[in-house]
Amino acid sequence: MLETSSTAAIGLHGLVKSYGETPVIPGLDAELRGGEFTVILGPSGCGKSTLLNCIAGLERLSAGRITIGGREVQEEEPKNRRLAMVFQNYALYPHMTVAENIGYALKVAGVNKTERAARVAEAARVVELGDYLDRRPGQLSGGQRQRVAIARAVVREPQVLLYDEPLSNLDAKLRHDMRRELAELHRRIGATSVFVTHDQVEAMTLADRIMVLNKGRIEQFDTPEAIYHRPASTFVAGFIGSPAMNLVDVTGEGGVLRLADGTALAAHSHRGPAILGIRPELVVPAPDGLPVQITYREELGAHAVLTLRLPDGTALRMATALGQRGGLPTDLRVALPAAELHLFDPLTGKALASATPATQTKKAQHDHVPS
């Protein structure tokens, strides 16, 4: 077991980063709890890597403060921030052996040879690197290189581990395995981890909390469970979930939500225009429901994803129940259960508070604030 220093919370206060005139991060406040695994999720160009580089100290802030373990670090060199980083393309030094790669930070820090060797061996053991210590990175597979990169990060016993899309260069099978190993590693060493990705599956499976970033702003920062079940905006709703949540323009009057042509879609007390959101897997067939046409069907083995056309031409995705195969009539009728509806403000895209599904307000289980 690696010696772990007391975990450090990361505070981001009024953080601004611009390149020339263009603000990439126009002002961001967040508290990343100590020991927590935070995933920063967003589409490319949303500023997530920039944010990570700012925390790492590889980019200078334009304004704002960063605290790590209560200490202001925005003016500090990366090496003084007590953090380590795993890069997307591993960034191993090609001319050094695996052992030299892992031990480089210790060598720079002036750790003597015997202690260095012991700590390198320990770090290699933690990531189950086996006996590759004398090889060069060029002789290793993608997964092994990734392990070396992680060992290089943990060998310094950092308070904070930063990951910059570390799995995106691996193939699907390996990515799945590494994801599991990263989760286990986090449980073992317990350092505060910040993980940047555009992959929602990685975010959902690894994170204690997910920070969804869009154009440098936080759309939502919450547990995976809350992000999935209570998206704070249409952006989050559309970004998380596969297939993505249906978003339909509706108007509420007299306890019913109607499409533009007046078709009644679902029962709800909301009044006035809104964007209705419903997960494809929660659209259910109902004998007395809305008549729809199936325009496209994707058979995924365990279930199928249908594209339906509502009477006014609006498209609606529906995921069939597990194990249900074929057999759906072409004149399908569906219902949108009132308890599963999300309503968003048509102008701001923010969730309408009154419309949160009543069934999913239980407290998130992932909250474990270390003492």
Partner 1 sequence: MKQEIFRSRWLPWWLSAPQLIVLFLFFYLPIALAFFWAFHLEQPFGGGSEFVGLENFRRVLGSGEFWTSAGATLLYMILASGTSITTALILALAADRALKLSPLARNVFIWPKAVASASIGVIFVFILNPFLGILAPLNEIWPGFWNPRTNVTHTYIMLFVTNVWNAIPFTFIILLAGLQAIPQELHKAGAMDGSGPWRRLWDIQLPLLTPQLFVVIVLEVADSLSGSFGLIDTMTQGGPGGSTNLLVYKIYSDGFKAYDLSGAATQTVILMVLVACITGFQYFFLERKVNYDR
Residues forming contacts to partner 1 in the complex (CB under 8 A) are 53, 56-58, 77-79, 83-85, 87-89, 91-95, 104-105, 108-109, 136-138, 152, 156
Neighbours of 226 (CB within 10 A): 20
Six-digit token string for 193: 């981890």
Q: Closest distance between partner 1 and the C-beta of residue 105, in Å?
A: 4
Considering only CA atoms, which of 188, 161, 170, 158 is closest in space to residue 90? 170
Q: Closest distance between partner 1 and the C-beta of residue 138, in Å?
A: 5
Q: Closest distance between partner 1 and the C-beta of residue 231, in Å?
A: 34
22/371 with CB nearer partner 1: 22
Q: Closest distance between partner 1 and the C-beta of residue 193, in Å?
A: 15
Q: Closest distance between partner 1 and the C-beta of residue 95, in Å?
A: 4
Per-residue 3-state assignment (H helix, E strand, C coil) for 241-295: CCCCCEEEEEEEECCEEECCCCCEEEECCCCEEEEEEECHHHCEEEEEEEECEEE
136/215 with CB nearer partner 1: 136
Q: Closest distance between partner 1 and the C-beta of residue 47, in Å?
A: 17
108/358 with CB nearer partner 1: 108
- Is residue 182 within 8 A of residue 161, CB to CB? The reply is no
65/136 with CB nearer partner 1: 136
Considering only CA atoms, which of 228, 233, 240 is closest in space to residue 344? 233
57/280 with CB nearer partner 1: 57
Q: Closest distance between partner 1 and the C-beta of residue 182, in Å?
A: 18
Instruction: Classify 335 as helix, strand or coil.
Output: strand
Measure the CA–CA gap between 213 and 234, rounded to whole angstroms.
13
DSSP 59: S
β-strands 333-335, 10-19 pairing: unpaired
Six-digit token string for 55: 């925390």
18/263 with CB nearer partner 1: 18
161/218 with CB nearer partner 1: 161
Q: Which residue has the tokens 């003492």?
A: 371
Q: How far apart are the first and last CA of the chain?
A: 21
Residue type at 270? H
